[in-house]
Amino acid sequence: MNSAADLARPHDQIRPVEIECGYLESNPASVLYKSGKTIVLCTASVETNVPPWMEGRGKGWVTAEYNMLPGSTSPRKRRDRSGKVDGRTTEIQRLIGRSLRAIVDLHALGERSITVDCDVLQADGGTRTASITGGYIALSLAVSQLASNPELDPAVDPAAVLRDSVAAISVGVIGEDVVLDLDYKLDSAADVDMNVIMTGSGRFIELQGTGEEATFDDAQLAELLRLGKMGIADLTQLQAAQLRSS
C-alpha cells in the first residue's frame, strides 16, 4: 500500500471498537479492549503501598506494564525472558504510565499504587494507543472500586482522583495522504507516524511524531493534529458511555 486509496474505511475514521468491562471474574477492573483486530487485556491492580522512593509523601503512584503474548503475532513473538526488556517495550510502558498519571491527582489517590497491565492478545497495529485508551477504563474501574469500599478512611473520591479522561490514537502520512488510526498494514506503509494522546477535555498530554528515514513539514503536521483530535473525541465518547453502563 503506497497510498490510502485502498483503505476500506474513510481515512478520517477510527476502526470499530469493542469494550468488555469486568472480563475477568476475579478482578472487576479488567477490560478486554478491541480496536479492529487488535485485542488488549487491561487489568488494574491496587496495592496499599507505594514504591520505596515515594514513601511518606502522602501521594500515590500509577504505573503500567505492557507485553505482547507470543501468539499475538505471526510469526510467533519470542517472550521477553532474557532479563532484558526490549527497548520498544520499555518505551511503550513508560508512555502508558506517563499518559495515565497526567490525569490522576496522586494526592487524592493517597499512598496507594495502581499497576495497569496491558497484555496484547492479538496485535494488528495501534497496540500502544489501545493500551492507553483501554488502560484508562481499567484504571477508572479500579478507582470506582476503591470509592465503593466503605472501610477506607478517608474515603476515596473518584472525581478528585481522576481529573479528566485520557485517550490515544495514531495518525500517519502515507504517500500524499494523512490517515487516522493505523492498523499493521497502514503502519508499515507510513512514512511518518504520530501518536496523539489527549484528555477528554481536549488538551494535549503527549505528542510523538516520528519520521523513520523520512521527514514532514508544517502543513502535514497541522493535518495530523486535526485528524488526531477527531479520533480522540470519538474514543472519549465511547469510554464515557462504557463507564456509565458498568
Binding-site residue positions for phosphate: 88, 126-128
Around Cβ 39, how many Cβ atoms within 10 Å?
21
147 burial via Cβ count (<10 Å: 0-12, 13-18, 19+): middle
Residue 102 within binding range of a copy of itself, rule CB under 8 A: yes
**CA dist list (Å): 27 to 51, 99, 139, 143:** 22, 23, 12, 13
Residues from 31 through 70 that contact a copy of itself (CB under 8 A):
37, 39, 41, 43, 45, 47, 65, 67, 69-70
Report the C-alpha gap between 227 and 6 in whole angstroms.
19
Q: What are the strands, taking DSSP E only, across 28-163? A: 30-35, 38-47, 61-68, 113-122
Binding residues: 88, 126-128
To a copy of itself, the closest distance from the beta carbon of 125 in angstroms equals 12
Grid cell of 88 as nine digits: 520498544
According to the binding rule CB under 8 A, does residue 112 interact with a copy of itself? Answer: no
Taking CB under 8 A as the criterion, the residue among 52, 56, 82, 154 binding a copy of itself is 82
Is 27 a binding residue for a copy of itself by CB under 8 A? The answer is yes
- Cα–Cα distance measured from residue 233 to residue 150, given in angstroms and rounded to the nearest whole number: 35
Q: Does 144 bind a copy of itself (CB under 8 A)?
A: no
Contact between 187 and a copy of itself (CB under 8 A)? no
Query: Which residues here bind a copy of itself, judged by CB under 8 A?
Result: 24-27, 30, 37, 39, 41, 43, 45, 47, 65, 67, 69-76, 79-85, 87, 90-91, 94, 98, 101-102, 106, 115, 117, 119, 121-122, 124, 164, 194, 199, 202-217, 221
